[in-house]
Amino acid sequence: MRTEEEMFQLIMDVAKQEEHIRAVGMVGSRTNVKAPKDSFQDFDIVYIVEPCAEFFETATWIAKFGQPLIMQRPKEMTLFPTEPKTRETFLMLFEDGQRIDLTLCPLAEKDNWHEGDSLAIILLDKDENLPPLPVASDKNYTVTVPNQQQFNDCCNEFWWLVRM
C-alpha cells in the first residue's frame, strides 16, 4: 500500500503537471487534527480547474494515480441520480487499498470550492487567487443529542425502511 506521503506527493504532482488544474484543496478527516489516523481514511481532494470539456470527459489523466480497482462517477450513475452540477466527482479505490474522492470544481466557482466545509484547507494555489480560509475545524461535524421529535422521526424512518 502506498504511504500517506506517497499519495500526497502523487496528488500534488498531478496537479502541478496538469495545466488545467489551477488549485488544490482538501476536506475531510485528514484535515481534522482531532481525528485519529487510520488505514480507512480516504483523500478528499478538490481540484479547481479551468474548464475544458476534454479534461472532464476523457479523464485519461486519472491513470496517473494508479489502476483503480473500482471507480464511481456519481454524475453518470442512474441508481441514485445526482442533481445536475457543474462539478464532476471521481470516487476511486485503487488496487493497493488507497482511496481518493476527487472533485473537479470549475475555476468560476473558486470562491466556494469547499462548499462551506469547515475542514477545508488549501494545498496549492498556482494563481494565488483563492480567498483565504479560516483555520480548519470540525465544527460542522460535531454530533449533538437529537430532540424527541428528531429521534421519533429517525425511528420511524428506520422501521419504514426495514419492512419486517
What are the pLDDT tens digits along the chain (164 aa)?
899 999 999 999 999 999 999 999 999 999 999 999 988 899 999 999 997 777 777 778 889 999 899 999 888 777 776 776 789 899 999 999 999 999 999 999 999 999 999 999 999 999 999 999 999 999 988 889 999 999 999 999 999 988 76
Query: What is the pTM for the complete model shown?
Result: 0.84
Residue 6 grid coordinates: 506517497
CATH of domain 4-138: 3.30.460.10
- Which pLDDT score is estimated for 44? 98
Instruction: Report pLDDT for 78.
Output: 76
Alpha-carbon distance of 56 to 81, in angstroms, equals 19
Beta-bridge partners for 106: 49
26 grid coordinates: 482538501
Contacts of 66 (CB under 8 A, 6+ apart): 2, 10, 94, 95, 96, 98
Reading the block at residue 39, the C-alpha cell is: 488505514
pLDDT of residue 164: 60
Other CB atoms within a 10 A radius of the CB of residue 27 amount to 22
Is the Cα dihedral 96, 98, 101, 105 positive or negative?
negative
